[in-house]
Amino acid sequence: MPMTRTDPRPSAATDARNRLTDPADIAALIASDHRDPFGVLGPHPAGDGTVLRCFRPDAAAVEAIDPDSGAVLARLDRRHPDGVFDGRIDRPFPQHYRLRIDYGTAGGVWEIEDPYRFPSSFGEIDLHLLGEGTHLELYQRLGAHPRTLDGVDGTVFAVWAPNARRVAVVGEFNRWDGRLHPMRLHPGIGVWEIFLPGVGPGAAYKFEIRGPNGDLLPLKTDPFAFRAEHPPKTASIVHGLPDPSWDDAEWLAGRAAAQRRGAPISIYEVHPGSWRRVPEEGGRPLSWRELGDQLIPYAAGLGFTHIELLPISEYPFDGSWGYQPIGLYAPTSRFGPPEDFAAFVDRCHRAGLGLILDWVPGHFPTDEHGLARFDGTALYEHADPRQGMHQDWGTLIYNYGRAEVRNFLLGNALFWLDRFHVDGLRVDAVASMLYLDYSRKAGEWVPNRFGGRENLDAVDFLRQTNVEVFGRHEGVTTLAEESTAWPAVSRPAHLGGLGFGYKWNMGWMNDTLRYMQKDPVHRHWHHSDLTFGLLYAFSENFVLPLSHDEVVHGKGSLLGKMPGDDWQQFANLRAYYGFMWAHPGKKLLFMGGEFAQRNEWNHDRSLDWHLLEAERHAGVQRLIGDLNRLYRELPALHVHDCEPQGFDWVDASNSADSILVWLRRGDEADRPVLAVSNFTPVPRQGYRIGVPHGGRWVERLNTDAAVYGGSGMGNFGGVEAEASPWHGRPCSMLLTLPPLATVLFEWAG
């Protein structure tokens, strides 16, 4: 608050022993180009006394005062008209003092804490680990952390910018003036740090960086910010590490069992900004709290085991859907503060749902306020565009060979698990990380040290990340979106694999969707599209993904891909879902697919929830709920999703009729399930199928049931198998196969 100068003592400038500030230091401070501001500003020994220096542009007078009594300790003389002041006392300067700054009649008199009196908050171990790039909780040190130092509340800012000539913190608290708060450099590790008294949670800030050639860069957001302004604004916000309260101990205790290979895992993939909107309020997206009220009970009610969110790390462009993130440590501000996201995760767990995040360590955008040429050099990315630029997306590629960059990314993976209790990370675009020639022509890429196309640094990074994730958090998992035949993606790193828990089966998705888009009259020529996947189905721990990527960019909706008239489109889609849920592999379905959204997904608007007023759409939704419940209820459908003993073809060769028959098996005590898919609109009466056991086989699900919008053709609840060998089995039974339908039978004994 404003105060009046009352101390009558003479100015320190009259002391002949006062050491004048070096003109070179003055010039560098004024030019905002001093590499070691803590070596000049603040208190410094001078003979048997102390010299105190500060830089306060526009100030008329500056005094150092006792914070308790207000007594003047030293009057600082102006050494330069642009605001460099210094003064001296004939003894060691008190540890506690404040600056009283007189801005004249227009600005008044203010008392502030001097940031340059506070020592570094970094310990030797932190500095050592940061220097070698092995600090797995580096988010505890870098970024903006509210602290109380020496009884004073403020924020410690720290940022890695090793090639910068000078770094300063700017914000409303200093009128975005980079001259006022240049930071302390820790030589050798390239970390800059400062404690700013009086700056607390909610303050917007950025870093003003002068590059190695002396040029001022565009203001940079904090790579470790825990909160950011709502786009299109781009500043970071002081928030501190999220420290929410949790009520999910029961879920965490059982998480390992819920996510193991033998568990029923059915994932509902969601873009939180367009799942549902509020038309009464301009079509705004739901907040985390509102999503907790609506999305969680909806997904749980349909029997899904997990929700997977498209990337929620702060991103500047809505049209990237989050896949071009800038603030990897900040949940996007679009849906509320970090604590609200944590509450959303907690509510998922209390509802029995796991929460998977889409995580993007494969690339980052070129926005000037982000990581691109962060300190004036290619710091996070490669300098060579043949290594550092994704041509397809116009984004930059991380330099996985640099220890500090690996540390930044690995620390981020652990951050989401540590601080937000996230249950899994789905890693985007793994293929683009693994191959140096990904989407490049000859001569447009740089071979590895052995002359090959494999990105060995990325391989090491992915393995290390999976080892640390699985080793530090019991029960978590990772999922790779990997579209090539790279071997052992979901095998442990110590066995030569990449170490992921699961891999998306992109081949299954492409083959089966290609088949389903064919007119049924042509499907007999493409029968192998449905059977080929079983040749490699157990080479990885697969997830069958019908993701957002299949319903954008002109591809149409899943329903829109289906051939035929309206009835046949719905019947095809239902039959396909039945085929998918009975097929080996965990399940993933993008939002809207569960009620047969007609339109292609649009990230700027809500799903078409009004479609549920139509019976056929509501029927598909009921089918998904029943498929999920049956998948969880029958061990034969999930226990050996990832092992060959869980699957047995009965008839894979009837391409003429486009019919497939197979068995799913659990453990020895589990009853087998028979699945039959008829992918033509021709109903089949008295169709004989071989089975391993006689007795009754109960019809557990029929996608042609009237309740799902079908014709209601079926087997009246079940069929008796007789001792007539067929399909190499000791018994057989005569079935009615509905048109364009999948039917599931459980042996009742």
Active centre residues (catalytic): 428, 481
Q: Which of 436, 505, 493 is nearest to 465 (CA)?
A: 493
SS3 293: helix
Cα 29 from chain centroid?
A: 40
Q: CA 182, CA 34: separation in Å to the nearest integer? A: 8
Mind giving me the DSSP string for 592-645?
Answer: TGGGT--SPP-TTS---GGGGGSHHHHHHHHHHHHHHHHHHH-GGGTTTTTSGG
With b meaning 16 or more CB within 10 Å and e meaning fewer, what string describes 425-446? bbbbbbbbbbbbbbebeeeebe
Residue 359: strand pairing partners: 427
Instruction: Name the nearest CA neighbour of 370 among 327, 413, 410, 417.
Output: 327
Inter-residue contact 222 to 304 (CB < 8 Å):
no
Residues paired with residue 76 on neighbouring β-strands, in sequence order: 62
Reduced to 3 states (helix: H, G, I; strand: E, B; else coil), residue 256 is helix
Q: Which residues, at least 6 apart from 479, have a Cβ–Cβ distance to it below 8 Å?
A: 356, 424, 425, 426, 427, 500, 501, 502, 503, 504, 543
For 406, phi then psi, to 5°, come to -60, -40
What is the spatial distance between Cα 497 and Cα 487, in angstroms, rounded to a whole number?
A: 7
Which string of DSSP letters, residue by residue, matches 175-187? TT-TTS-BPEEET
Q: CA–CA separation, 363 vs 264, rounded Å?
A: 32
CA angle 299–302–307, rounded 5-degree value = 30
CA–CA distance, 478 with 484 (Å, rounded to integer): 18
Map tokens 């190499």 to a residue.
Answer: 728
Whether 102 contacts 59, CB under 8 Å = yes
Helices 566-582 and 506-516: crossing angle in degrees, nearest 10, is 150
Distance (Å) of CA 415 to CA 270, 338, 412, 620: 21, 13, 5, 38
Q: Is 51 helix (H, G, I), strand (E, B) or coil?
A: strand
Side chain identity at residue 220, one-letter code: K
